[in-house]
């Protein structure tokens, strides 16, 4: 739906202050960045800092650690299927490496494992490529321009963005491998936006000291995903993809090594076992858990399944108390609510302005600071823009980009979003966008090392499911980077593990039985099961009428 | 929340839609995807990113009394009264496997993989059916005349939903051909980034090892100091900008 007459009136206020703001932008006059102390104070408005939003885990290797209720609900839950019912004696598939997850991390892990000579099965909950990778828009960071940048500055930015809590070795691995990740993608045929001489276009992102955000128009993630998916499909001889087959449990063996998984065919409703010599967990994040009721940018399958699987198998979680809210999600029109508006709009010069048409924060603060500032402006300072459904938002003044970089820039640089809004009769090259923070990224996850290995031998982790690289807050452009860098590392490490480390043995789900007992002993008897697999979007009144329907968790 | 249960939406006026021919009353503000969930469907197929970029939820619909075929993405298209819809979550398509490393950057590569390209009769059904407004026929025509670069550019917004293939009189899978074109363009035709190659070489040579090692063992206060004092590249400046200090650079 187009802007209502009331909103159109409010847009006039934005238009009135625009010329002056454009002039300031041209002159390089910015709202000063907050000092580290001011950042800290501002973050009190961030949802992570709401004590009532989290609770201490009652079970598992990180017992006592306080995380969001929505994730705790899943970690303090029983298995979907009783372990003794699963026949481990006759696996349906045997392979070298089992990769769980078909996004960017899982796909790059599969390609690298296969190139090392391993046979790979990639199991994915939805289709190959249905992942948050596909939705990442703005770009991928790497210090590629030596005259002004290096992994050292990238490292500083990563650590500062994460409030200096990141695991230094993970951050170091990320930045050191970043240029090679871009080179690999370029070699695979990703169409990065470039000059005619091959120089990659780079822009700033929140919290970057150098312009090192590489991009492919405004669909960087989709361009990366479809390219590496194509490469994986070319390797069908050694990479078998099992779609609509989420993992519901990891299988260990008698030596305590990870040796496969129990998969669930969502269409035929059968459970079956894949036996593997090494497993890569690349299941992504948790946006569809709607933490604290927030809308989300995430794809349908982002339900933290891998966290549950790894945690039950004995891997602790770290940094999971922090969740990233992307500062700019669509809040109007409501049909598109939660959808990500890339940071690249701000990187290209668009201001954030309140209902009075005034700026209130530098547009390139780290994401958590930016999101906290928007929440403060709307909720505490009463300067939000009211939507027709009674919510609040802030203007993201995209028409400024036309003034700064010439007519037609918005359509050319942001074709995806231009079309999306056009469907609602809104021309974002002429009218600003109404935004509010939206649940975006799981900063933390399963504990792992820079080789991708976890404390369970044979179990490797890549991408959003792991925690520690980004500390308490990830910067824009470091997630696409993370999945490629650590996806490739995990794939390589897993195939190396097969050569030295792997020990064949009897398969077991004993750890699941034990975990179920621990959940019960903690007094959790409401029958909750995990992983969630899909979110619950069935209307309560529909459920009431489904008298013979059977739900296991959210799945009918 | 991204559920169909927002109280405002429930309060909205309802309209009739026909899901695979069966009538449901749904709030008029919902997308097709949320309307189906509102009606009691639970998605396994036909739902992916819910943000208009993954191609999982291609939908075909007609309107009452109108002969035309309309298409859209279920997650992006708002319901209309009396729409008759079905999703096409999967459509079989011929995909040719190839070795990208050895593939020649010429159109012949694509001709060999997809000789059916020349079955195109330029009927333009593909373009008409594309929910992303990609000029499908234009990129197919570009391929026919051997212009990979143009095909890559024109097809850039393709989300590989498969609707073009579903309507093609030549029985082609256009989107698979476009994927080969884009990879060849990005990996073999576009000039390589020399600065990237140089940086990779510098890293391999250990140029930054010492400065990074030093940063890794800094106390939090030391790290905060260098972080706060690091030079910021101006937002609107040119790419040639260089910092005053070359500390930590190659």
Name the residue among A152, A115, A190 with its Cα closest to residue A487.
A115
Is residue B69, in this structure, part of any structural domain at all?
A: yes
Shared domain for B216 and B155, answered yes or no, is: no
Name the residue among A264, A260, A225, A258 with its Cα closest to residue A244.
A264
Nearest to A144 among B97, B195, B234 (CB): B195
User: pLDDT averaged over chain A?
Assistant: 96
CB contact under 8 A, B233 and A538: no
The token pair that represents B212 in the structure block: 């990074």
Per-residue confidence band for B1, with pLDDT thresholds at 50, 70 and 90: very low
Of the candidates B137, B158, B189, which is a domain's last residue? B189
Question: What CA–CA distances, in Å, run from B211 to A102, A156, A179, B51, B243?
Answer: 36, 11, 17, 42, 17
Residue of B nearest to A290 (CA): B1
DSSP-assigned letters across all residues of A112-178: HHHHTT--EEEE-SSSTT-SHHHH--S-EE----TTT--HHHHHHHHHHHTTT-S-HHHHHHHHHTH
CB contact under 8 A, B56 and A126: yes
Shared domain for B219 and B166, answered yes or no, is: no
Looking up residue B57, the CATH number of its domain turns out to be 3.10.20.30
- Which residues of chain A lie closer than 8 angstroms to B250, CB-CB? 146, 150
Is residue B121, in this structure, part of any structural domain at all?
A: yes
Say if CB B116 and CB B172 are below 8 A apart. Answer: yes
- Which of A21, A131, A148 to mutate: most B Cβ within 10 Å? A148
Is the pLDDT reported for residue B9 higher than 80? no
Name residues whose C-beta falls within 8 Å of residue A219's C-beta, 6 or more positions apart in sequence.
A137, A415, A416, B53, B156, B157
A209 to chain B nearest CA, in Å? 5
How far is A220 from A138, CA to CA, in rounded Å? 6
How far is A106 from A125, CA to CA, in rounded Å? 12
Query: Which residues of A are known to be catalytic?
Result: 326, 346
- Which residues of chain B lie closer than 8 angstroms to A338, CB-CB? 2
Q: Which of residues 101-140 of A touch B (CB under 8 A)?
A: 126-127, 129-130, 132, 134-135
Shared domain for B79 and B35, answered yes or no, is: yes
Shared domain for B157 and B128, answered yes or no, is: yes
B78-100 b/e (C-beta count within 10 Å ≥ 16 → b): bbeeebbbebbbeeebebeebeb
pLDDT tens per residue, range B103-153: 999 999 999 999 999 999 999 999 999 999 999 999 999 999 999 999 999
Is residue B112, in this structure, part of any structural domain at all?
A: yes
The token pair that represents A51 in the structure block: 């004590």
Is residue B209, in this structure, part of any structural domain at all?
A: yes
CB contact under 8 A, B226 and A156: yes
* Residue span of the structural domain in which B17 resides: 7-87
| Domains, in order of start, for chain A | 5-30+325-439 (3.90.700.10), 91-322+443-507 (3.50.50.60)
Longest dimension (CA), chain A: 72
Is residue B181, in this structure, part of any structural domain at all?
A: yes
Per-residue confidence band for B2, with pLDDT thresholds at 50, 70 and 90: very low
Neighbouring C-alpha atoms within 13 Å toward the C-beta of A403: 20
Is residue B100, in this structure, part of any structural domain at all?
A: no
Shared domain for B185 and B207, answered yes or no, is: no
- Which residues of chain B lie closer than 8 angstroms to A335, CB-CB? 29-31, 34, 76, 78
Per-residue confidence band for B29, with pLDDT thresholds at 50, 70 and 90: confident
B72 to chain A nearest CA, in Å? 10
Is the pLDDT reported for residue B157 higher than 60? yes
Of the candidates B59, B87, B115, which is a domain's last residue? B87
- Which residues of chain A lie closer than 8 angstroms to B231, CB-CB? 209
Strands (E), A421-533: 433-442, 445-447, 459-461, 466-467, 507-508, 529-530
B178 to chain A nearest CA, in Å? 11
A255 to chain B nearest CA, in Å? 35
Cα B52 to its chain centre, rounded Å, is: 8
Per-residue confidence band for B210, with pLDDT thresholds at 50, 70 and 90: very high
Residue A8: predicted pLDDT: 96
Of the candidates B189, B216, B239, which is a domain's last residue? B189
The token pair that represents A541 in the structure block: 């009144």
Least confident piece of the model among A19-28, A195-204, A416-425? A416-425
Nearest to A416 among B53, B208, B228 (CB): B53
Per-residue confidence band for B11, with pLDDT thresholds at 50, 70 and 90: low
Question: What CA–CA distances, in Å, run from A221 to A198, A226, A283, B139?
Answer: 20, 8, 16, 22
Nearest to A127 among B56, B157, B207 (CB): B56
Is residue B162, in this structure, part of any structural domain at all?
A: yes
Shared domain for B76 and B125, answered yes or no, is: no
Say if CB A63 and CB A85 are below 8 A apart. Answer: no
CB contact under 8 A, B215 and A295: no
**Number of domains comprising chain B:** 3
pLDDT tens per residue, range A331-350: 999 888 888 898 889 989 99
CB contact under 8 A, B199 and A186: no
Q: How much is the ipTM here?
A: 0.96
Outline where A281-375 has alpha helix (H): 305-312, 344-347, 367-375
Nearest to B48 among A151, A296, A300 (CB): A300
CB contact under 8 A, A36 and B249: no
Nearest to B250 among A150, A168, A340 (CB): A150
Is residue B223, in this structure, part of any structural domain at all?
A: yes
Name the residue among A250, A318, A322 with its Cα closest to residue A283.
A250
CB contact under 8 A, A186 and B193: yes
Shared domain for B249 and B219, answered yes or no, is: yes
Name residues whose C-beta falls within 8 Å of residue B68's C-beta, 6 or more positions apart in sequence.
B62
Q: Tokens 């995430």 belong to which residue?
A: A298
């Amino acid at each position: 739906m187009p802007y209502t007459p009331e909103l159109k009136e409010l847009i006039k206020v934005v238009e009135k202050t625009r010329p002056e703001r454009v002039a300031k932008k041209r002159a390089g006059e910015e709202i000063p960045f907050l000092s580290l102390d001011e950042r800290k104070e501002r973050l009190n408005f961030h949802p992570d800092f709401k004590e009532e939003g989290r609770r201490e885990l009652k079970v598992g290797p990180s017992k006592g650690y306080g995380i969001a209720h929505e994730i705790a609900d899943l970690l303090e839950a029983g298995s979907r299927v009783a372990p003794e019912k699963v026949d481990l004696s006759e696996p349906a598939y045997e392979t070298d490496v089992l990769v769980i997850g078909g996004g960017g991390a899982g796909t790059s892990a599969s390609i690298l494992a296969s190139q090392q000579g391993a046979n790979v099965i990639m199991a994915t909950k939805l289709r190959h490529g249905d992942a948050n990778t596909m939705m990442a828009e703005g770009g991928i960071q790497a210090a590629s321009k030596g005259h002004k940048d290096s992994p050292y500055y990238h490292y500083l930015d990563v650590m500062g963005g994460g409030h200096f809590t990141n695991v230094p070795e993970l951050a170091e691995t990320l930045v050191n491998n970043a240029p090679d990740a871009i080179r690999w993608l370029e070699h695979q045929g990703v169409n990065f936006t470039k000059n005619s001489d091959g120089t990659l276009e780079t822009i700033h992102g929140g919290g970057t000291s150098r312009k090192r955000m590489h991009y492919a128009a405004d669909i960087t993630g989709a361009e990366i995903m479809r390219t590496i998916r194509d490469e994986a499909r070319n390797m069908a001889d050694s990479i078998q993809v099992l779609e609509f087959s989420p993992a519901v449990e990891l299988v260990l063996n008698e030596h305590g090594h990870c040796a496969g998984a129990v998969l669930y065919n969502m269409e035929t409703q059968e459970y079956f076992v894949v036996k593997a010599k090494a497993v890569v967990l690349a299941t992504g994040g948790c946006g569809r858990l709607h933490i604290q009721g927030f809308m989300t940018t995430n794809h349908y399958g982002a339900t933290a399944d891998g966290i549950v699987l790894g945690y039950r198998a004995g891997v602790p979680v770290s940094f999971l108390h922090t969740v990233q809210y992307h500062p700019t999600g669509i809040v109007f029109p409501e049909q598109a609510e939660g959808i990500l508006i890339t940071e690249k709009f701000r990187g290209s010069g668009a201001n954030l302005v309140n209902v009075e048409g005034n700026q209130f924060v530098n547009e390139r603060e780290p994401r958590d600071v930016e999101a906290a500032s928007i929440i403060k402006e709307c909720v505490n300072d009463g300067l939000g823009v009211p939507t027709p459904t009674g919510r609040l938002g802030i203007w993201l003044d995209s028409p400024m980009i036309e003034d700064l970089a010439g007519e037609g820039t918005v359509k050319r640089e942001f074709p995806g979003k231009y079309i999306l809004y056009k469907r609602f009769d809104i021309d974002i090259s002429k009218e600003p966008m109404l935004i509010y923070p939206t649940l975006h990224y799981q900063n933390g996850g399963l504990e792992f090392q820079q080789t991708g290995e976890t404390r369970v031998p044979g179990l490797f982790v890549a991408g959003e499911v792991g925690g520690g690289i980004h500390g308490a807050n990830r910067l824009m452009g470091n997630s696409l980077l993370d999945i490629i860098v650590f996806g490739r590392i995990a794939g390589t490490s897993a195939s190396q593990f097969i050569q030295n480390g792997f020990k064949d043995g009897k398969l077991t789900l004993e750890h699941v039985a034990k975990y179920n007992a621990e959940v019960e002993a903690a007094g959790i008897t409401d029958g909750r099961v995990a992983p969630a697999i899909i979110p619950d979007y069935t209307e309560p009144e529909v459920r009431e009428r489904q008298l013979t329907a059977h739900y296991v968790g959210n799945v009918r | 929340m991204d559920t169909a249960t927002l109280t405002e939406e429930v309060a909205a006026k309802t309209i009739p839609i026909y899901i695979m021919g069966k009538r449901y009353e749904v709030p008029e503000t919902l997308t097709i995807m949320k309307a189906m969930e509102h009606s009691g469907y639970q998605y396994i197929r036909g739902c992916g990113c819910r943000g208009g970029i993954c191609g999982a939820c291609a939908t075909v619909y007609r309107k009452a009394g109108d002969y035309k075929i309309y298409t859209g993405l279920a997650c992006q298209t708002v319901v209309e009264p009396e729409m008759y819809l079905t999703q096409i979550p999967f459509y079989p398509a011929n995909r040719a496997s190839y070795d990208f490393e050895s593939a020649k950057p010429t159109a012949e590569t694509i001709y060999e993989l997809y000789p059916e390209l020349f079955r195109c009769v330029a009927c333009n059904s593909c373009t008409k059916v594309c929910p992303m407004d990609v000029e499908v026929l234009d990129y197919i025509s570009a391929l026919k005349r051997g212009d990979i670069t143009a095909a890559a550019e024109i097809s850039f917004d393709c989300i590989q939903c498969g609707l073009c293939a579903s309507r093609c009189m030549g029985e082609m899978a256009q989107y698979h051909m476009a994927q080969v074109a884009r990879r060849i363009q990005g990996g073999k035709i576009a000039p390589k980034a020399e600065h990237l190659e140089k940086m990779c070489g510098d890293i391999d040579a250990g140029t930054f090892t010492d400065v990074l090692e030093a940063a890794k063992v800094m106390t939090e206060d030391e790290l905060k100091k260098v972080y706060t004092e690091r030079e910021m590249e101006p937002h609107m400046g040119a790419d040639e900008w260089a910092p005053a200090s070359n500390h930590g650079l190659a």
